[in-house]
Amino acid sequence: MLDNVTWPSTDYSRVPYVVFGDQAIYNREQERIFQGSSWCYLGLEAEIPNPGDFKTSFVGNTSVVVNRSANGAVYAFENRCAHRGSTVVRELSGNRENYTCIYHHWCYDHEGNLIGVPFQRGLKGKGGMPREFDKCEHSLKKLRVETYRGVIFGTFDHDIMPLADYLGPRIRDILDTIFQKPIEVLGYMRQRMPSNWKLYWENATDCYHAGLLHQFGTTFGLFRATQEGGSFLGACPGHSVCYSIFGSDEGSVSEGYEGIEAYNAEMKLNDASLLQYRDEDSDQRGLIIMATFPSVIFQRIANTLATRQIRTKSPNEFELYWTYFGYADDDEELRRMRLTQTNLVGPAGLISMEDGEAGVLIQRAIERERHASSVMEMGGKGPIGDQDHLVSEMSVRGFWKHYCDVMGYVPGSSS
């Protein structure tokens, strides 16, 4: 096992496959990325609207509870009892005045403070905790929490920069768009992926694959590489956005896809209503996919609105947790479109099921590989920046640059 890696190229156009299967590297990721100086997605305020509402979530592979206190503020703490380590909250969501651990009934408030220890003073003068035992020193491990536009982020680093600065103006701008109005959570989709979480991150930031792997989109006309679109980076290159303008390639599709199997102009759906959507964007962007380092992807594709949270499980397994939502003021037709378009995304999605398969195909082929690297030069080598087209892997390299910075890996020259 390794926990240090030499990066073969200084522009991150090569990624050593060893980072996708090594336990020591995975452990270091938990420590430096998820437990470290990152703002991690925890959930949405709309999921816990009332005082006492809670939901369980994850930061990397650490179970956390996020909840709203009596005064309306949102708090989060690690879901591990300060006594002897039991999981405190077992439910996915609910409403509680306080949290009692099932094992010895230690009791915590919404902020995670220890407020009760049964038999602390003993019984009839016998037993009990030592006199100097101070409940204040035994709270649950607290996260610092901040929200932006109703999206809840948490971090174990209490000295980290404010969330708004961590995201930067371009990421906030997309959140302003996606969370422009009060939302209503419609449900969840989960995928247990037998591959390394970073393969999914590469996938979500890779504009290049979208118009090739997802042939349903290219064939029947949602996303195509020939559309107007591009990608740009956020406050750090670990955040990136890919966008495209649906229908902007009329007339140029056949030419663009000439000789490429992904496109078949002859094929038609029996019921094209699946492809009908309402333009909800002032800039006609039919697709916006934003990856926010290290654990969440925000999307609006046609009328599908979702967050996708990465919950790591091991070097070769993670859970992808989709939260699917609409706006509270959706009219009936728009709400119906959002529900019909569940066909496009999630584990059975006609333009997303392929991503699960791609991850497995890579994981299977590289797991035992100690020396080889991938090649990413689509859209150019060298400096990492914005792109005004869709045939690019630039944002994937951006992710790796930031990943290496956080992990303390120094890119060396090719050997």
Partner 1 sequence: MNNSLASNSSRTIAQEVVREITDLLYDYVLCLDDDRLEEWPDFFIEDCIYKIVPRENLRLKADLPIWFCENKNMLRDRVLALRTCSVYNLHYDRHLISNIRVKCQDDGRFYVHSNYAVFQTDLIEGKTILFCTGKYEDEVVFVAGQPKFKVKRVILDTYSVPNLLATPV
C-beta of 133: minimal distance to ligand FES in Å? Answer: 14
* Intra-chain end-to-end CA distance of the chain, in Å: 21
Q: Is 101 in the site for ligand FES (CB under 6 A)?
A: yes
Enumerate the H helices of 341-393 as residue ranges.
Answer: 353-366
Q: In the bound complex, what is the minimum distance in angstroms from residue 327's beta carbon to partner 1?
A: 13
| Segment contacting Fe ion by CB under 5 A, of 48-56, 232-240, 332-340, 351-359 | 351-359
**Cβ distance 30 to 406 under 8 Å?**
no
Task: Examine residue 103 and tell whether it contacts ligand FES (CB under 6 A).
Answer: yes
Closer Cβ to ligand FES, 86 or 93, answer by number: 86
101, interface contact from ligand FES, partner 1, Fe ion, none, CB < 5-8 Å by kind: ligand FES
Q: Verify binding: residue 374, ligand FES, rule CB under 6 A.
A: no
- By CB under 6 A, residue 216 contacts ligand FES: no
Which residues have C-beta within 8 Å of that of residue 259, sequence separation ≥ 6?
A: none
Cα–chain-centroid distance for residue 190?
Answer: 12
Distance between CA atoms of 128 and 364, rounded to whole angstroms?
Answer: 54
- Count of residues that bind Fe ion according to CB under 5 A: 1
Segment contacting ligand FES (CB under 6 A): 98-106, 140-148, 207-215, 228-236? 98-106
Hey, what amino acid is at 288?
Answer: I
Nearest to 363, CA basis, from 25, 26, 20: 20
CB of 115 to ligand FES, least distance (A): 13
**In whole angstroms, what is the distance from residue 293 CA to residue 274 CA?**
32
**What is the spatial distance between Cα 190 and Cα 329, in angstroms, rounded to a whole number?**
26
Q: Which residue bears the tokens 């792997």?
A: 213
CB of 156 to ligand FES, least distance (A): 21
Q: Does 41 bind ligand FES (CB under 6 A)?
A: no
Q: Provide the minimum distance between the beta carbon of 204 and partner 1 in the complex, in angstroms, as a whole number.
A: 15
- Which of ligand FES, partner 1, Fe ion, none has residue 222 at its interface (CB below 5 to 8 Å by kind)? none
Which residue type, as a one-letter code, is found at position 310?
I
CA distance 99 to 244: 46
Which of residues 45, 109, 355, 393 is near Fe ion by CB under 5 A?
355
Say whether residue 202 binds Fe ion (CB under 5 A).
no
Nearer to ligand FES, 81 or 222 (CB): 81
Residue 334: name its binding partner from Fe ion, partner 1, ligand FES, none (Cβ under 5 to 8 Å by kind).
none
Query: Do the beta carbons of residue 142 and residue 112 sit within 8 Å?
Result: yes
φ and ψ of 385, to 5 deg:
-155, -160
Which pair of structure tokens corresponds to residue 273? 């209503």
Q: At what angle do helices 353-366 and 197-204 cross, to 10 degrees?
A: 130
**Side-chain-facing half-sphere of 394: CA atoms under 13 Å:** 22
Burial class (CB in 10 A: 0-12, 13-18, 19+), 168: middle
- Cβ closest to partner 1, residue 283 vs residue 333: 333
| Subset of 56-85 contacting ligand FES (CB under 6 A) | 81, 83-84
Number of residues lying near ligand FES (CB under 6 A): 8
Smallest separation (angstroms) from ligand FES to the CB of 82: 8
Please report how close the Cβ of residue 107 comes to ligand FES at its closest, in angstroms.
Answer: 9
Q: Which does 86 bind (CB under 5 to 8 A by kind): partner 1, Fe ion, ligand FES, none?
A: ligand FES
- By CB under 6 A, name the binding residues for ligand FES: 81, 83-84, 86, 101, 103-104, 106
